[in-house]
């Protein structure tokens, strides 16, 4: 069938579906139409065609209604009637067998267990009346028993329920995103390839979805916070779905994707942009997602299962533990349900029988009307447009997607419109998803009533369309941000245009672009939102997060945020009055992802405020009355074993006199550590006061070649408070 070309990048693989002999055509585009008048000249017209598939069923029996005509339908976009330009009826009953004669390439990779497979090229007209099904196996989220269950169900469907009109493709996400079998009607080839998924020992499992593989058992019952890893894993899974959808845009027929997963763990709004991007791309590609939870019917126990450590406390007796386990289970299904609902599919949870999922896909795509129209709205504003389709005949129920996102054109907008676009996106409740943006914020105390809050934004250089100018790579970014307090008032704002003019030797496309700014805020709870736009095509990305600035007056040990950095560089703003991120002329560049290379150092910076004064014992060594006694070290734990600890650092004097603070700097050379995940415990002890703190966080150490070229290129600005 159609060739699926794999373009594998350093992170997530990007898929591209090539249709030999056919021009590129998305779900909202038509190729050029040529007319040749008698005068002898040729006129070419190009228009955007909006396509939607409509299933007409009898309202009483639910049977497909056939024989409807174009004149029976009325199409409305945002309440305005549209003229139908194309009309077609497709049914699997009218499918013709494909001629499997022309071999165009190889679908399976060179490492495939079953060897390479021939791919048959089909013309666009050959796909009429066929049912196109993609089976996507998310191997990173499934335990071996879950994988066995879904493999058995898929093979059973292929053996007994697959029909001649069905064309099935196989895609899997393991170490990379892989097309294991292109669209084909060959049952034997599909059954063999699906059976190869059972060997999952080398795939690895996503953290947080079904396993707690880096849990450390200790006497406190502490469970490591895996939110950062969950964010990365969830983004990776959603990017994979987006890549699959993007590769299917050129196929005009309706398509279905069976998504087999052991659950996706979302961390609040952290993955909202990736989720919205995956849904938007699937809608544009006319792809319906049918999510299947491969964990099947689960017994949620108050004491947990064998994947977690023993429960401590009273939660098992108060019902709190059971409620927490149920909430965690629901949370891993919420993203899958959203993907299905918003793309016109259906989710299948809490059942050991996966057969209904296959039956639903076949039933929804057995027969449908394909309707296309040219929108009367010429605006290229990227806004959502609602569709409404009506039929003149009574007793018929229509099923269709409720709308689509209009194309956006940035180059034709003026300066005022562009600025308003940024303001609108900043005020929008929905995130911008065109480019990925990551944000982190920390805090350092200036005095009892004010905090210095540095904010870092990270944009992958691969997402920025740099323009070559001599030996420079040039690009311009517009950045706008706002800080909102608990009563929804804006109390801080940032706005800057950053012009990047980088030497080509830096290979900016293989690096991250990091922007830093700061705010001066009182204690309280705040919401930060930033929007970034690249000014070549106008694509935007946004990120929103909450931050709490604590009231430290009654805290036994007053400590700032802990900043991790892989890079320290000479400060670019030496005239700034107070900047806790600058020590001895060197500025710490926060590492947002907590991912480091073995050939790097991991630098830690934090501050302790109002330390107790050390009162020397009679006859003991005399110390100044202003002397303090603070001790700190960092432990790195892997599994249940401490593998490294920094030398103990002892502070006997305040080194930030104006703020009565002691700044600590720790240096961890990573060359001696093996690649892998580590739990870090920072030990901070005020020996004079008898108080202490042991904050923990996770880091990932990777080989140098695994993340080569990821050092950030930095830019900075200043935010203002209102």
Distance in angstroms (rounded) separating the CA atoms of residues 490 and 33: 52
Q: Kindly state whether residue 544 falls inside one of the protein's structural domains.
A: yes
Residues in Cβ contact with 351 at an 8 Å cutoff, skipping those fewer than 6 apart? 296, 297
The stretch 685-705 carries a mean pLDDT of 91
Identify the domain containing residue 274 by its residue range: 3-24+95-106+129-369
Residues 611 and 670 in one domain: yes
Predicted confidence (pLDDT) at residue 707 exceeds the cutoff of 60: no
Q: Which of 485, 477, 459 is nearest to 713 (CA)?
A: 459
Burial of 627 (0-12, 13-18, 19+ CB in 10 A): middle
Of residues 3, 23, 237, the one with CA closest to residue 141: 237
Given 337, 354, 369, the domain boundary residue is 369
Residues near 92 by Cβ (< 8 Å), separated by ≥ 6? 129, 130, 131, 163, 165, 166, 365, 366, 367
As a residue count, the chain comes to: 722
The C-alpha atoms of residue 145 and residue 148 are separated, in whole angstroms, by 5
The pLDDT value given to residue 486: 93
306: CB partners within 8 A, 6+ apart: none
Tokens of 185: 């009607």
Q: Which of 338, 353, 369 is the last residue of a domain?
A: 369
Q: Closest Cα partner for 357 from 292, 261, 263, 287?
A: 292
For the segment 15-43, the average pLDDT, to the nearest whole number, is: 36
Collapse the DSSP code of 138 into the 3-class scheme (helix H, G, I; strand E, B; otherwise coil) and give the result.
strand
Average pLDDT of the residues in 362-369 = 82
SS3 459: strand
- Selected residue with higher pLDDT from 577 and 185: 185
**223 and 328: one domain?**
yes
Q: Give domain status of residue 580, yes or no.
A: yes
Q: Which residues contact 19 (CB under 8 A, 6 or more apart)?
A: 2, 124, 250, 251
* 599 and 716 within one domain: yes
Last residue of a domain, one of 369, 395, 427: 369
Q: Which DSSP letter does residue 311 get?
A: P
Across the range 239-243, mean pLDDT stands at: 88
The answer to whether residues 701 and 578 belong to one domain is yes
Percent of the chain with pLDDT over 70: 72
Cβ atoms within 10 A of the Cβ of 230, count?
21
Tokens 């609108």 found at: 424
Q: What percent of the chain shows pLDDT beyond 90?
A: 34
Assess whether 302 and 445 both reside in one domain: no
Three-state DSSP at 660 gives coil
Q: Please report which confidence band the pLDDT of residue 317 belongs to, taking 50, 70 and 90 as the band edges.
A: low
At 719 the pLDDT is: 67
Answer whether residue 402 is part of any domain: no
User: What's this model's pTM, rounded to 2 decimal places?
Assistant: 0.55
Tokens of 217: 């058992």
Q: Answer yes or no: are the C-beta atoms of 7 and 177 closer than 8 Å.
A: no
Q: Is residue 68 part of a domain?
A: no
Positive or negative torsion for Cα 558, 564, 565, 566: positive
Mean pLDDT for the stretch of residues 556-573: 89
User: Residue 94: pLDDT band by 50, 70, 90 thresholds?
Assistant: low
Q: Which is more confident, 653 or 615?
A: 653
**Same domain, yes or no, for 580 and 682?**
yes
Domain for residue 390, yes or no?
no
Q: What is the pLDDT of residue 321?
A: 56
Confidence of residue 443 (pLDDT cuts 50, 70, 90): very high
What is the SS3 string spanning 98-160? CCCCCEEEECCCCCCCCCCCEEECCCHHHHCCCEEEEEEEEHHHCCHHHHHHHHHHHHHHHHH
Number of domains observed in the structure of the chain: 2
pLDDT at 38 over 50: no
Give the bridge partners for 532, in sequence order: 479, 541
The pLDDT confidence band at residue 616, using thresholds 50, 70 and 90, is: low
Beta bridge partner(s), residue 500: 475
Give the domain CATH number at 463. Answer: 2.60.40.3880
116 touches 154 (CB < 8 A): no
Token pair belonging to 57: 């069923």
What is the mean pLDDT of the segment spanning 701-708? 72
CATH of the domain at 199: 3.40.50.410
């Amino acid at each position: 069938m159609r060739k699926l070309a794999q373009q594998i990048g350093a992170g997530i693989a990007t898929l591209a579906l090539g249709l030999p002999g056919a021009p590129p055509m998305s779900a909202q585009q038509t190729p050029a139409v040529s007319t040749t008048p008698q005068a002898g000249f040729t006129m070419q017209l190009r228009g955007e065609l909006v396509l939607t598939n409509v299933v007409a069923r009898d309202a009483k029996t639910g049977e497909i209604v056939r024989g409807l005509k174009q004149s029976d339908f009325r199409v409305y976009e945002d309440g305005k009637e549209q003229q139908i330009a194309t009309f077609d009826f497709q049914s699997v009953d009218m499918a013709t067998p494909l001629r499997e004669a022309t071999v165009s390439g190889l679908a399976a990779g060179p490492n495939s267990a079953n060897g390479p497979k021939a791919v048959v090229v089909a013309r666009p007209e050959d796909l009429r009346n066929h049912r196109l099904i993609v089976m996507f196996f998310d191997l990173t989220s499934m335990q071996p028993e879950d994988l066995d269950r879904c493999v058995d169900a898929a093979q059973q469907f292929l053996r007994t329920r697959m029909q001649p009109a069905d064309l099935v493709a196989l895609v899997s996400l393991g170490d990379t995103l892989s097309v294991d079998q292109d669209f084909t009607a060959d049952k034997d080839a599909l059954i063999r390839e699906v059976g190869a998924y059972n060997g999952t020992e080398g795939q690895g499992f996503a953290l947080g979805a079904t396993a707690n593989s880096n849990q450390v058992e200790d006497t406190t019952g502490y469970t490591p916070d895996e939110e950062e890893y969950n964010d990365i894993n969830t983004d990776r899974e959603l990017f994979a779905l987006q890549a699959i959808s993007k590769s299917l845009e050129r196929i005009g027929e309706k398509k279905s994707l069976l998504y087999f997963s052991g659950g996706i763990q979302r961390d609040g709004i952290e993955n909202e942009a990736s989720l919205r991007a995956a849904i938007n791309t699937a809608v544009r590609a006319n792809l319906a997602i049918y999510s299947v939870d491969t964990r099947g019917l689960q017994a949620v126990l108050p004491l947990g299962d064998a994947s977690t450590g023993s429960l401590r406390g009273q939660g098992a007796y108060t019902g709190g533990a059971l409620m927490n386990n149920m909430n965690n289970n629901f949370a891993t299904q919420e993203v899958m349900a959203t993907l299905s609902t918003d793309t016109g599919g259906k989710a299948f949870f809490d059942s050991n029988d996966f057969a209904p999922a296959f039956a639903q896909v076949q039933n929804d795509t057995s027969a449908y009307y394909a309707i296309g129209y040219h929108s009367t709205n010429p605006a290229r504003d990227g806004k959502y447009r609602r569709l409404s389709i009506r039929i003149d005949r009574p007793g018929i129920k229509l099923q269709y997607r409720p709308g689509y996102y209009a194309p956006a054109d940035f180059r034709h907008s003026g300066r005022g419109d562009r600025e308003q676009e940024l303001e609108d996106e900043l005020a929008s409740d929905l995130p911008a998803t065109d480019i990925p943006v990551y944000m982190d914020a920390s805090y350092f105390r200036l005095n009892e009533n004010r905090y210095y809050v540095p904010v870092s934004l990270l944009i992958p250089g691969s997402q920025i369309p740099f323009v070559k100018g001599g030996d420079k790579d040039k690009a311009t970014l517009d950045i706008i941000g706002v800080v909102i307090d608990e009563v929804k008032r804006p109390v801080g704002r940032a706005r800057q245009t950053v012009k990047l003019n980088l030497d080509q030797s830096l290979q900016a496309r293989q690096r991250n672009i990091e922007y830093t700014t700061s705010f001066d805020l009182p204690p309280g709870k705040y919401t930060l939102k930033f929007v970034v736009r690249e000014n070549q095509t106008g694509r935007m990305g946004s990120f929103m997060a909450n931050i709490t600035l604590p009231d430290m007056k009654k805290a036994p040990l007053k400590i700032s945020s802990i900043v991790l950095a892989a890079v320290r560089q000479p400060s670019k703003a030496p005239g700034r009055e107070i900047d806790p991120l600058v020590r001895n002329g060197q500025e710490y560049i926060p590492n947002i992802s907590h991912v480091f290379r073995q050939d790097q150092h991991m630098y830690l910076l934090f501050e302790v405020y109002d330390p107790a004064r050390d009162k020397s014992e009679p006859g003991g060594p005399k110390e100044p009355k202003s002397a303090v006694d603070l001790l700190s070290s960092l432990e790195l734990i892997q599994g249940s074993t401490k593998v490294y600890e920094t030398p103990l650092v002892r502070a006997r004097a305040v080194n930030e006199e104006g703020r009565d603070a002691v700044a600590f700097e720790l240096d961890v050379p990573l060359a001696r550590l093996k690649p892998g995940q580590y739990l870090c415990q920072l030990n901070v002890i005020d020996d004079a006061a008898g108080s202490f703190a042991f904050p923990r966080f996770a880091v990932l150490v990777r080989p140098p070649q695994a993340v080569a070229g990821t050092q950030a290129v930095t830019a900075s600005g200043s935010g203002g408070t209102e």
